[in-house]
Structure 1
Amino acid sequence: MSLPVLSRLRFLAAGLGLASVLAACGSGAETTTATDASPAAASPAAGPWTFTDDRGKKIETPKRPARVVAQVGAAAALWDFGVRPVAVFGPHRLKDGTKDPQVGDVDITKVESIGNVWDEFNVEKYISLQPDLLVSGMYAKDALWYVPQKSAATIEQVAPTLGVNLIGMSVPKLIERYGQVAAALGANLDAPEVTAAKARFDAAAAALPTPEAKGLKILVMAGGPEAMWVVNPDDHPDVRYFKELGLDVVVPEKVDDGGYWQTLSWENADTYEADVILVDARTQSMRVEEMRKKPTFAGLPAVKAGQVYQWHAEERYSYQGYANVLEQLRTDLAKAKKL
């Protein structure tokens, strides 16, 4: 494997793009969708509990799981619905000790950490927590996000696992699915904070696009030292939703074999015309100020016009999370103009 491919793999391993590697190197089977699985209603805490996840796997436990461990994306969504995991894994603490935005409103001082970066999962600590259930999203069939393949068999033996499919779905459906999981775990979906967040989300969605924003061509991307990646909207639930709302998002002409992106060298940064560029805001992605050191990126009309804004690539799938995203997107697009 050449050095450029290794470098790309390191970048992708820290974020959504690794799913393309997983999909390419995995079983090769098609992903299921949330609509393929039977929604589960909440079960009484004292009685038998069942739930069918998006792998088609029927989970059965003597009582409703109370000690839930979750990947940070799932943990953040469940937290907003009222479920309080006992532990999280995946990016939740930055180098300075503050919260990683990916963990949302989860109080990281009140949950245990069993891993903070890719391929880090403390199995011994996980066992010691005596979990009832592990919850994670899936960017490839049967591959629980941030659960290391080398430890997957052991982790599966400790407690049941529940996977939520994140591919081929739009944001509202994913939020609804996490709501179903939360309800099955005892959350009250009619709680005032949940209904208020939904009303805010609905209002934010209805406000997009403005007439001005409809005329803007939007490029969504991430960057690394040796290449940039243009988002394929169909493979990213949030960007797919932006399109559904009526925004004009660039669709790459040639998507990588594993999906998700089209990889471009920095020399070809001008492949697609755009009035606005949304850049991956995760900590593992190259910062915009670093990208501006690439002459071809710095020369793009949107960059010269200052119309480069953040894209929160792994925002939690809750009404709170995406109300924030849609409101900020509307604010950013209101500052932009057709170039």
Structure 2
Amino acid sequence: MRHVLGARTSRRSLLTGALGLGATAALAACGGTNDDTPSASGSAAAAGPFTYTDGRGKQISLPKVPTKIVAQVGAAAALWDFGIRPIGIFGPSTKADGTKDPQAGSVDLAAVTSVGNVYGEFNVEKYLSLAPELLVTCMYDPKLLWYVPEESQPQIEQIAPTLGIQLSEVALPKAIGYYEELAGKLGADIKTPEITAAKAAFDTADAALKTAAAAATAAGLRVAAFSGSKDTLYMSIPKYSPDLSHYLAQGVPLTVPTKPDSEGAWWESLSWENAAKYPVDVILYDARTQALPSAELIKTQPAWAQLPAVKAGQIVDWYSEAQYSYQGYTPALTELAAKLPTFKKVA
């Protein structure tokens, strides 16, 4: 299973446990910077200083707009869609078979340098060699920078300022707006015809989802979002996820777990013996690369295979970390809006 958006204080431990990784970064002593590293292409830097208050309430103040940006892959993909071209990335960008990870979105992997591909990997020496001016990532915890190893964060922050976009309990349109605003501050033209058209497509898909959600509610359907591992089924608590909280606001009849793992937890963990605790007709299933695929669970977990929604084939891929841009989420909205009206009550 890929990272589970777990309890705020245990999200990292859930991820490292799922991946079987020790969250150790590849560290190296700080040395001189390489002045030959490229600037972020496609982002004409705005004139004047750069100031931004991030999700921690931390103000980043720089004498000029940074162009050498290294970003967590999801943040990089969102910024890419808004016209900013990071020079480096970290987080899942390449799958085990060498193909591009969906989390990389539109990022041209040949044009960026990866300093870590999985949770817990962050090659500080390689990061230093890029002479970064700013690191950008998201946050699912009030204090933790996503995919930045906590033990090496002080060293990383000595190299360049870090900027975290808070996504916990932030609705999808607002999350997209955060990246759009940041891209504008970084010098992107966020009023291009391409971005305007992308927003229009997003709004159209969103309206279609609202219509489909109303029909699903009228039909008495119950929907839930899950991620599975060998030993545990995780049922998502919608309010913490930008996409799920937005689906709920649009009327999608999402079932809300009643016993989260802890206060502020993102999930209720269910043993496989209790997989059917919540009767649901439609499943949104974690489709990220790190997740245990539903097809594999069908073969290895009889409790999953016997769930009414699984037996009926009423499963929709859930990309909970698609890039927060109009282009990133329009496909998800479109797919859910198209499939919901075709599903029946089965539980």
Contact 2:55–2:142 (Cα < 8 Å) also in 1 = no
Q: Distance in 1 between matches of 2:200 and 2:76?
A: 22
2:61 matched residue in structure 1 = 60
SS of equivalent residue, structure 2 residue 116: coil
Contact 2:74–2:324 (Cα < 8 Å) also in 1 = yes
Q: Distance in 2 between matches of 1:165 and 1:260?
A: 15
1:213 matched residue in structure 2 = 216
Q: Distance in 1 between matches of 2:167 and 2:12?
A: 13
For 1:93-147, what per-residue CA distance to the aligned partner results, in whole angstroms no more than 9, with x for missing partners? 0112111001111011110010000110010011110001000000111211000
Does residue 12 of structure 2 align to residue 17 of structure 1?
Answer: no
SS of equivalent residue, structure 2 residue 209: coil
Does residue 46 of structure 2 align to residue 45 of structure 1?
Answer: yes
Does residue 135 of structure 2 align to residue 146 of structure 1?
Answer: no
2:254 to 249, 256, 272: 249
Moved more, 243-252 or 207-216: 207-216
Q: 1:19 to 1:76 in 2, by over 3 A?
A: farther
| AA aligned opposite 2:274 | N
Contact 1:20–1:260 (Cα < 8 Å) also in 2 = no
Q: For 1:61-76, list aligned pairs within 5 A.
A: 61-76=62-77
Q: Distance in 2 between matches of 1:43 and 1:201?
A: 26
Q: Runs of at least 4 residues of structure 1 off by over 6 A? A: none
| AA aligned opposite 2:216 | A
Q: Distance in 2 between matches of 1:153 and 1:232?
A: 32
1:331 to 330, 335, 338: 338
Q: 1:120 to 1:23 in 2, by over 3 A?
A: closer
Contact 2:224–2:282 (Cα < 8 Å) also in 1 = yes
2:19 matched residue in structure 1 = none
Deviation at 1:22, TM superposition (A): 4.9
For 1:234-257, what per-residue CA distance to the aligned partner results, in whole angstroms no more than 9, with x for missing partners? 111111111001010010010111
1:276 matched residue in structure 2 = 282
Q: Distance in 1 between matches of 2:253 and 2:120?
A: 36
Q: TM-score, normalised by structure 1?
A: 0.88
SS of equivalent residue, structure 2 residue 279: coil
Same amino acid, percent of matched pairs: 50
Q: 1:312 to 1:85 in 2, by over 3 A?
A: same
Deviation at 1:16, TM superposition (A): 2.6
Contact 2:45–2:188 (Cα < 8 Å) also in 1 = no
Contact 1:134–1:161 (Cα < 8 Å) also in 2 = yes
Q: For 1:25-174, list aligned pairs within 5 A.
A: 45-174=46-175
Does residue 300 of structure 2 align to residue 297 of structure 1?
Answer: no
| AA aligned opposite 1:330 | A
Q: Distance in 1 between matches of 2:44 and 2:107?
A: 24
Contact 2:74–2:322 (Cα < 8 Å) also in 1 = yes
| AA aligned opposite 1:276 | V
Contact 2:280–2:308 (Cα < 8 Å) also in 1 = yes
Deviation at 1:303, TM superposition (A): 1.3
2:227 to 222, 227, 251: 222
Q: Distance in 1 between matches of 2:147 and 2:45?
A: 30
SS of equivalent residue, structure 1 residue 82: coil
SS of equivalent residue, structure 2 residue 109: coil
Deviation at 1:17, TM superposition (A): 2.8
Q: CA RMSD in A?
A: 1.9
Q: Distance in 1 between matches of 2:201 and 2:149?
A: 36
SS of equivalent residue, structure 1 residue 242: helix
For 1:258-291, what per-residue CA distance to the aligned partner results, in whole angstroms no more than 9, with x for missing partners? 5100000011111011111111001111111122
1:34 matched residue in structure 2 = none
| AA aligned opposite 2:135 | L
| AA aligned opposite 1:313 | S
2:25 matched residue in structure 1 = none
For 1:68-92, what per-residue CA distance to the aligned partner results, in whole angstroms no more than 9, with x for missing partners? 0000111011000000000000000
Q: 1:126 to 1:280 in 2, by over 3 A?
A: same
Contact 2:216–2:341 (Cα < 8 Å) also in 1 = yes
For 1:293-325, what per-residue CA distance to the aligned partner results, in whole angstroms no more than 9, with x for missing partners? 322221111111111121111111100111111
Q: 1:176 to 1:98 in 2, by over 3 A?
A: same
Alignment coverage as a number of residue pairs? 312
SS of equivalent residue, structure 1 residue 144: coil
Q: Distance in 1 between matches of 2:135 and 2:54?
A: 12
Contact 1:170–1:240 (Cα < 8 Å) also in 2 = yes
Q: Distance in 2 between matches of 1:253 and 1:46?
A: 51
SS of equivalent residue, structure 2 residue 303: helix
Q: TM-score, normalised by structure 2?
A: 0.86
Q: 1:23 to 1:125 in 2, by over 3 A?
A: closer
